[in-house]
Amino acid sequence: MSERPSDKRFEMETDIHTDFKEKMTYGDYLQLDQLLSSQKRLSGHHDEMLFIVIHQVSELWLKLIIHEIEGAIKAIKQDELQASFKMLARVSRTQTQIIQAWDVLSTLTPAEYMEFRDSLGNASGFQSYQYRLVEFVLGYKTPHILKIYEKDPELHAILEEAYRSPGLYDVAIQALARQGLPIDQTVLKRDFSKTYIPNESVEDAWLTVYQDVDRYWDLYQLGEKLVDLEDWFQQWRFRHMKTVERIIGHKKGTGGSSGVGYLKKVLDHQFFPELWSIRTRL
């Protein structure tokens, strides 16, 4: 019997570890037993596996996005802008992954989804607490959303803290002020539990940065990193809306939202409005 090429290659790698009776394996490190046993279909329908995996993978990417944005907020507060750029660039790259996830989910046809949709009950991506955390750290604060999480006091406390804390754009504006650019005190001392609204002094400050790039190079880079992040976020929202429309049309969402109608409305919201409006003034 001839030896398989794969066996030959394995024999040539004499330093490969094979005895893991007392050592941690790849699966141990990643806790794959727990991770890969978390896909529990309620309907038994073949395509429900796709639906579960896509949403679980998206939640993992959201976890990384939150981790990186929180790190960037901390770095910007300490005027370590270069460190924040790496984190924000990673967020943008991660966003491309969750955008592409919709392309995979769109292989689910309306007829296939209807076979197991009722099994979801009122469970919906609308209730994703990590998605709400992303919105909160980006400065989009919606108080009525907190009610969804009252059944879990620990989780509610995490969201409440993010809801009342300055978001990414708030600390970016504070960085503008520390560089000597005039920002209204009403903005710097605003109630961070409120969704940010555009301010003329902030627009003027960003305009100064973009008109004197050499002097304000770090702030200019920060502005462009924020624009990248919002651009990708809006593309994610758009792909979400079109995938939902493709699969369920204009039916109400399982969580009670208007579905496509709701998703279209949030497309109009901007996290960093002055970074977009200055482009017309430049």
Sign of the Cα pseudo-torsion (160, 161, 167, 168, in order): negative
Residue numbers in the known binding site for substrate are 51-55, 113, 117, 254
Residue numbers in the known binding site are 51-55, 113, 117, 240, 254
Residue numbers in the known binding site for heme are 240
Residue 138 neighbours by CB under 8 Å, 6+ apart: 69, 167, 168, 169, 229, 233, 271
Residue 173's CB is within 10 A of a number of other CB atoms, namely 27
Q: Are residues 139 and 168 in contact, defined by beta-carbon separation less than 8 angstroms?
A: yes
Buried b (16+ CB within 10 A) or exposed e, 160-170: eebbebbbbbb
